[in-house]
Chain A
Amino acid sequence: MATTHHSVSKGEHQKWPAPIDVERVRKDFPVLDQTVHGKPLVYLDNAATSQKPLAVIEAEERFYRHDCSNIHRGVHELSERATRSYEDARVTVQRFLNASDHKEIIFVRGATEAINLVASSFGRKSVSAGDEILITAMEHHSNIVPWQMLCEEKGAKLRVAPINDRGELLFDEFIKLLGPKTRLVSVVHVSNVLGTINPVREMIEAAHRKNIPVLLDGAQAAPHLAVDVQALDCDFYTFSGHKLYGPTGVGVLYGKANLLEAMPPYQGGGDMISSVTFEQTIYNSLPYKFEAGTPNIAAGIALGAAIDYLNGIGFENVAAYEDEVLAYATEAVSRVPGLKIIGTAERKAGVISFVMEGIHPHDVGTILDQEGIAVRTGHHCAQPLMERFGIPATTRASLAFYNTKGEIDALVAGIHKVKELLG
Chain B
Amino acid sequence: MPDLRGLYQEVILDHSKKPRNYRVLEGADHRAEGYNPLCGDRVTIYLKVENGKINELSFQGSGCAISTSSASLLTEALKGKTLDEADALFEKFHALVTGQAGGKLADDGSLGKLAVFSGVAEFPTRVKCATLAWHTLKSALKGEKETVTTE
Residue positions of A touching B, CB distance < 8 A? 37-38, 358-363, 366-367, 370, 377-379, 383, 386, 392-393, 421-422
- Residues of chain B at the chain A interface (Cβ within 8 Å): 1-2, 4-5, 7-8, 13, 17, 38-42, 62-66, 68, 123, 125-126, 129
Query: Taking A392-B40, A392-B42, A393-B40 as contacts, is the C-beta distance between A362 and B64 under 8 angstroms?
Result: yes
Number of A-B contacts (CB under 8 A): 53
Q: Are B4 and A360 in contact (CB under 8 A)?
A: no
Other A-B pairs beyond A360-B65, A378-B38, 13, CB < 8 Å: A358-B17, A359-B65, A360-B39, A361-B64, A362-B39, A363-B64, A366-B4, A366-B7, A370-B2, A378-B40, A379-B40, A383-B40, A422-B8
**Residues of B close to A359: CB separation below 8 A:** 65
Question: B64 contacts A38, CB within 8 Å?
Answer: no
Instruction: From B4, B5, B39, give the contact of A361 (CB < 8 A).
Output: B39
The contact of B39 among A358, A392, A421, by CB within 8 Å, is: A392
Q: How far is the CA of A370 from the CA of B2 in the complex (A)?
A: 8
Cα-based distance from A361 to B4 in the complex (angstroms): 15
Q: How far is the CB of A370 from chain B (nearest CB, A)?
A: 5
What are 18 inter-chain pairs, A to B, with CB distance below 8 A? A37-B1, A38-B1, A358-B17, A359-B65, A360-B65, A361-B39, A362-B39, A362-B41, A363-B8, A363-B65, A363-B66, A366-B4, A366-B123, A366-B125, A377-B39, A392-B62, A392-B63, A393-B40
| Complex CA distance for A358 and B66, rounded to whole angstroms | 13
CA distance A421 to B1 in the complex (A): 18
Considering the chains assembled together, what is the distance between the CA atoms of A360 and B8 in angstroms?
13
User: In whole angstroms, what is the CA distance A366 to B129 when docked?
Assistant: 12
A386 in contact with B40 (CB, 8 Å): yes
The answer for the CA separation of A386 and B62 in the assembled complex, in Å, is 14
B108 to chain A, nearest CB (A): 27
**Chain B residues near A367 (CB, 8 Å)?**
4
Max chain A Cβ within 10 angstroms of own Cβ: one of B1, B13, B65, B68: B65
- A residues near B66, Cβ cutoff 8 Å: 362-363
**Residues of chain B contacted by A393 (CB below 8 angstroms):** 39-40
* Cα separation A38 to B3 with both chains bound (whole Å): 12
